[in-house]
Chain A
Amino acid sequence: MSHDASVKLISPSAVLKQVADAIPEDFRQNIIIVGSLAAGYYFFADNPKLQVRTKDVDCLLSPRIEAISAGQAVADRLFAEHWQLRTEGDWGKAGDASMPVNKLPVVRLHPPGSTEWFIELLTVPESESDLERKDIRLVTSQGHFSLCSFGFLSLAEFQPIMTPFGIAIARPETMALANLLHHPAIGREIMSSLIAGRSIKRSNKDLGRVLAIARLAEAKEEDSLQNWPTLWTAALQNRFPTIWRSLVRQVGSGLRQLLRPENEADLEEARHTCAYGLLVSQAPTLKLLEVTGQRLIQDAIVPLEMLGQAS
């Protein structure tokens, strides 16, 4: 485990522009930024003083059918522009043809002259039943890499928001939904890196992200959470046409578990990640996160469950 106390605050707009500028123009349409940078841009783009603390800029290559060609073109252009492989951890160098695909490193590149953040190339799952991690081989000028897909990343493809820089960001609502679905219960997996000096369960970090997005959405527009169930239903029906109803049933279970009084230590971990991440400019109290979760359940999750039963 490594301390990540050195993770800096970055401007979402500036980073998005830098990433977009570095990507070949023909392939910008294949990029959807997901994660805290996308959420930060959505909520803070109007206010340059507001920044986010992140070190990874997750670039989703979409659609899946164009992911390999887009991934090769993007990676090769970035190598040519002197972006550097991230050396931290076990993935400091490219693989080769002899390595099994699941042993290959993913493409993680720092921009020239900076190690404050890096981009990571991902793609969407091939089908709605493809929910486990899948690696596909990406052959670049610098060697072999894995382009991985997992879980509910395909939800980010639903109605992404185009930025003025020519690349899109995932909608906060669909990112929240993906995280909720990914954690139907508080899991045991611990993040590989400490977050602001603390060891954090992955589920608590991701469910904390959901709460942070919900809080920012309410702050941006009161009652906006009430619009989420319609969008969630459309996204689920679009990306998971045959299993969406069964997915609806698991959307709220992890969050409900997190909010139970006996799991206050887990909620505190979620609060810690919010205070260090998307909500850094206005660190939340435990009570605010708890209420935000209850509001989200009431405004979005329960209506979604009803829509799932009705339609």
Chain B
Amino acid sequence: MKAIQFECPIDNFPGFRADAVLDDTVYEVLVESRDARRLRSALMEMARVASSKKVNRVVLVLEEPSITISRLHGEWEGAASVIRPDLFVRLSMVIRQSGKWSGIPASPNDNEVPMLEEIIRHEIATRPASLNRSSEAHYEILRILIHQWLLGKGPIAVSSLMEISGTSHPTVSRSLERFDHYLKRHSDRSVELRSFPRDEWTRLLAVSDEVRGTVRFADRSGQARSPESLFRRLRQLQRQDIAVGGVLGAKHYQPSLDLVGNPRLDISIHSGRKIADLSFVERLDPGLEKTVRRDESPTLVIHTIRRAESLFQPGEDCLPWADPVECLLDLHEARLESQALEFLNSFPATKGRPS
């Protein structure tokens, strides 16, 4: 089997690099595209590439587009009316939505799918995630400090904060200034929290979805797999960059926690500065699809950890646990407020303190 070439220049198109090329087929990838204008310009670009004598087919690969399938069909028909027919017949679009493939004018066949998935994996792995805004960096540092404090680990050096968060000295310094009144600064350039930073925590809860890149998945089959089943299947994947949080994670840290039942599975994925590849969700359950509706109960909720070090705790059977701060955020996010408070108060640092 011939190898896929990535970031490949095309003859007679100076400056243009195809996302992937296999034989005489060129692939262009759009990840999480929301913009119909971007789609239109990609189709025009594809038509231009298709005019090369060395190119036979040009395939636009759409990964998790936010544009509806009917809208995609509309854009496709629009393109057909303006692109030369001899070029247009050489174009196609393939779409992966919640791990499932479709296409215009035809879905990819079973032989093409593994190759398309490799192309998407490569694209996701090499393109940077949207840059951390300073507030996101701030909340990373806040969470690291709370983690340190909850587990009673004592002061942490500013250099360690930089290392774990993956941020620069000025960023860490700016962040520390924002909650200076909660901080105890030591002469060796280390810092620690004096108490639980309630105001900052409340602010974090308000923007938690955005800061953690939370994505919710709901069952579309009407016969959802249980969170326990998803957990067992996650364990089978043997991924070290994915950790279990939520109710299961909280119970791991505090087995006596008053939590009966488990309405959903919360997991954290450590992606650093890259966009998290969520294609593994289909392997947990092909019945899961992304949902943005807050009135819908998700079965699976994924949070992205963007700092340099995950703070995951090794678990049995090769499946790590998310750190306690993520678990606490998960409980709040699931509106398990009393359990979140009980969980928070179960750590040595908070014992005996008023809530």
B220 within 8 A of A: yes
> Of all chain A residues, which has the CB nearest B110?
A256
Q: Given that A223-B229, A287-B222 are contacting pairs, would A295 and B287 also be in contact in the complex, using a CB cutoff of 8 Å?
A: yes
B223 near A260: Cβ-Cβ < 8 Å: no
Stretch at the interface among A59-67, A74-82, A192-200, A214-222: A214-222
- Whole-angstrom distance between the Cβ of B265 and the nearest chain A Cβ: 14
* Complex Cα spacing A260 to B108, Å: 10
Tally chain B residues at the interface, Cβ within 8 Å: 17
In the complex, which residues of chain B have a beta carbon less than 8 angstroms from the beta carbon of A261?
102, 107
B107 near A222: Cβ-Cβ < 8 Å: no
B286 near A295: Cβ-Cβ < 8 Å: yes
B117 within 8 A of A: no
* Complex Cα spacing A288 to B285, Å: 12
A285 within 8 A of B: yes
B221 within 8 A of A: yes
Q: What is the interface of chain A mostly: helix, strand, loop, or mixed?
A: helix
B82 within 8 A of A: no
Tally chain A residues at the interface, Cβ within 8 Å: 18
In the complex, which residues of chain A have a beta carbon less than 8 angstroms from the beta carbon of B292?
none
B232 near A218: Cβ-Cβ < 8 Å: no
> Of all chain A residues, which has the CB nearest B69?
A261
B260 within 8 A of A: no
Q: Given that A223-B232, A262-B106 are contacting pairs, would A291 and B226 also be in contact in the complex, using a CB cutoff of 8 Å?
A: no
In-complex Cβ contact of B283 among A218, A292, A298 (8 A)? A298
B332 within 8 A of A: no
Q: Given that A223-B229, A223-B232, A294-B286 are contacting pairs, would A287 and B107 also be in contact in the complex, using a CB cutoff of 8 Å?
A: no
B17 within 8 A of A: no
Interface string of A280-292 (1 = CB under 8 A from B): 0000010110111
B107 near A262: Cβ-Cβ < 8 Å: yes
A288 near B107: Cβ-Cβ < 8 Å: no
B229 near A287: Cβ-Cβ < 8 Å: no
- Whole-angstrom distance between the Cβ of A197 and the nearest chain B Cβ: 25
* Complex Cα spacing A215 to B223, Å: 9
> Of all chain A residues, which has the CB nearest B99?
A294
B225 within 8 A of A: yes
In the complex, which residues of chain B have a beta carbon less than 8 angstroms from the beta carbon of A218?
223
Interface string of B105-141 (1 = CB under 8 A from A): 0110010000000000000000000000000000000
In the complex, which residues of chain A have a beta carbon less than 8 angstroms from the beta carbon of B286?
291, 294-295, 298
* Complex Cα spacing A287 to B110, Å: 20
B106 near A288: Cβ-Cβ < 8 Å: no
* Complex Cα spacing A215 to B287, Å: 13
In the complex, which residues of chain A have a beta carbon less than 8 angstroms from the beta carbon of B222?
285, 287-288
In the complex, which residues of chain B have a beta carbon less than 8 angstroms from the beta carbon of A285?
221-222
* Complex Cα spacing A100 to B102, Å: 51
- Whole-angstrom distance between the Cβ of A156 and the nearest chain B Cβ: 27
* Complex Cα spacing A262 to B106, Å: 8
- Whole-angstrom distance between the Cβ of B221 and the nearest chain A Cβ: 4
In the complex, which residues of chain B have a beta carbon less than 8 angstroms from the beta carbon of A290?
221
B221 near A287: Cβ-Cβ < 8 Å: yes
- Interface residue ranges of B20-35 to A (CB < 8 Å): none
- Whole-angstrom distance between the Cβ of B106 and the nearest chain A Cβ: 7
* Complex Cα spacing A290 to B223, Å: 12
- Whole-angstrom distance between the Cβ of A249 and the nearest chain B Cβ: 12
In the complex, which residues of chain A have a beta carbon less than 8 angstroms from the beta carbon of B107?
260-262
Q: Given that A222-B226, A261-B102 are contacting pairs, would A291 and B110 also be in contact in the complex, using a CB cutoff of 8 Å?
A: no
What are 13 A-to-B residue pairs whose CB atoms are below 8 Å?
Answer: A222-B225, A222-B229, A260-B107, A261-B107, A262-B106, A262-B107, A285-B222, A287-B220, A288-B223, A290-B221, A292-B223, A294-B100, A294-B286
Give the 8 A-B residue pairs with the shortest CB-CB distance, closest first: A294-B286, A291-B221, A291-B287, A288-B221, A288-B222, A222-B229, A261-B102, A223-B229
5 additional contacts, CB 8 Å, given A222-B229, A261-B102, A291-B221? A262-B106, A287-B222, A294-B100, A294-B287, A298-B286
